[in-house]
Amino acid sequence: MIENGFPRLSSGIPGLDDMIEGGFPYPSVVLVAGGAGSGKTTFAQKFMFSGAENGEQCLYISTLSEPAQWMLRYATQFEFAKREFYGKEIVYFDLGLELRKRSGEEILDIIDKKIAEVMPNRIVIDPITVVGTMMKDDYRVFAFDLATRLKNWQAVTILTGEVHPGELYPAEISYAVDGVILLMLSDEGDARRKYIEVLKMRGTNHLTGKQSVDITRKDGVIVLKARF
């Protein structure tokens, strides 16, 4: 789909494409940032499975040394996460063990090699911020190099970023990417409400401000009240 001269790739998140002129610029690198339990992994999984549903090739890179079964067990509690895509349209790759013993440059090479092997047009790295805490090298330099390399592929990459209490978004990686989407939890009366905000999306006249979201077993993250 072409909108305003940019090819677009549907996010797979109900309601979000209408906020960003039809989808993510293709290719691009987008950070989805939020606190613990804000829905980052669910967002990234839905992005991937909706692509798989269209026969697209996807690559899911975990940085947490989690076995593939763990990812699958989490994902398949959602109706959209069909097991049959796993190992075919969706390739799982665990980067966790490499992170402790490799330099930033070596990690970038490992990621590039895996992308060349799978040739995905949807990539997820979940969560990217853990690399910052494990790497001895300069994380800001790494973040720029990673974003630059990822943009050379015909793919949209979702990086998930953990936001720590007191910070708005993970600063180092935010400057390097094309788009930043925040997922937030906030207190309103007795309820914990969930929100989404598009902080930036290069080349896109995106909606600004917080929009309510819900997480459902059927669709994962859905935007409830976009003001179109």
Ligand X SMILES: Nc1ncnc2c1ncn2[C@@H]1O[C@H](COP(=O)(O)OP(=O)(O)OP(=O)(O)O)[C@@H](O)[C@H]1O
Task: Give residues in contact with Mg ion (CB under 5 A).
Answer: 40-41
Q: How many residues bind ligand X (CB under 6 A)?
A: 13
164 is in the binding site of which of Mg ion, ligand X, none (Cβ under 5 to 8 A by kind)?
A: none
Residues 137 and 128: their CA atoms lie apart, in Å, by 15
Site membership for ligand X, residue 133 (CB under 6 A): no
Site membership for ligand X, residue 186 (CB under 6 A): no
Q: Could you tell me which stretch among 38-46, 80-88, 103-111, 147-155 binds ligand X (CB under 6 A)?
A: 38-46
Helix-strand-coil split of the chain, %, nearest 5: 30, 30, 40
Residues 119 and 91: their CA atoms lie apart, in Å, by 10
Nearest to 75 by CA among 60, 64, 88: 60
Residue 129 near residue 180 (C-beta atoms within 8 A): no
Residues in region 80-109 near ligand X by CB under 6 A? none
Q: Is 209 left (phi over 0), alpha (psi -120 to 50) or beta?
A: left
21 is in the binding site of which of ligand X, Mg ion, none (Cβ under 5 to 8 A by kind)?
A: none
Site membership for ligand X, residue 62 (CB under 6 A): no
Site membership for ligand X, residue 162 (CB under 6 A): yes
Name the residues that contact ligand X, by CB under 6 A.
Answer: 34, 36-42, 77, 162, 215-217
